[in-house]
Amino acid sequence: MTAFWVLAPVLVLAALGLLFVRKAVHAALLLAVVMISLAVLYAVLEAPFLFAVQIVVYTGAILMLFLFVVMLVGVDASDSLVETIPGQRLSAGVVGILLLVLLLLGFGQLGLGAAQSLGAAGGSDNIRAIADLLFSRYVVAFEVTAALLITAAVGAMVLAHKERLEPKRSQADLAAQRVRDFSQRGVHLGNLPAPGTYARHNAVDTPALLPDGGTVPGSVPRVLVARGSVRDVGGFASSPGSGDGGEQGPGPKSPAAELVEAQIEERAWTRPADDADGRAAAPPGVSDPDDGHEDAAVTGDAGEQGEES
Partner 1 sequence: MDSVTPFVVLSAILFSIGAVGVLIRRNAIVVFMCVELMLNAGNLALVAFAYHHGGLDGQVAAFFVMVVAAAEVVIGLAIIMTIFRTRHSASVDDASLLKW
Site for partner 1 in 66-105 (CB under 8 A): 66, 69-70, 72-73, 76-80, 84, 88-89, 92-93, 95-97, 99-100, 103-104
Nearest Cα to 164, choosing from 6, 282, 278, 8? 278
Among 54, 183, 206, 270, binds partner 1 (CB under 8 A): 54
Number of neighbouring beta carbons within 10 Å of residue 26: 14
Verify binding: residue 199, partner 1, rule CB under 8 A: no
Residue 215 main-chain phi, psi, to 5 deg: -100, 150
Question: By CB under 8 A, what part of segment 9-38 binds partner 1?
Answer: 11-12, 15-16, 18-19, 24, 27-28, 31, 34-35, 38
Least distance CB 174 / partner 1 (angstroms): 22
Q: Is 135 in the site for partner 1 (CB under 8 A)?
A: no
The percent of the chain in helix, strand and coil, each rounded to the nearest 5, is 60, 0, 40
Q: Is the dihedral of CA 120, 125, 129, 130 positive or negative?
A: positive
* Distance in angstroms (rounded) separating the CA atoms of residues 148 and 166: 35
8 A C-beta contact, residue 13 and residue 39: no
Contact flag: residue 121 with partner 1 (CB under 8 A): yes
Q: Is 175 in the site for partner 1 (CB under 8 A)?
A: no
Stretch that binds partner 1, among 107-115, 218-226, 249-257, 283-291 (CB under 8 A): 107-115
The distance of closest approach from Cβ of residue 194 to partner 1 in the complex, given in angstroms and rounded to an integer, is 31
59 binds partner 1 (CB under 8 A): no
Spatial contact of 44 and 3, defined as CB atoms under 8 Å apart: yes
64 binds partner 1 (CB under 8 A): no
Q: Does 223 bind partner 1 (CB under 8 A)?
A: no
269-283: burial string, b at 16+ Cβ within 10 Å, e else? bbbbeeeeeeeeeeb
Report d(CA 82, CA 270) in Å as an integer: 33
Scanning 113-121, 202-210, 230-238, 286-294 for contacts with partner 1 by CB under 8 A, the matching segment is 113-121
83 or 291, CB closer to partner 1? 83
Q: Which is nearer to partner 1, 87 or 249 (CB)?
A: 87
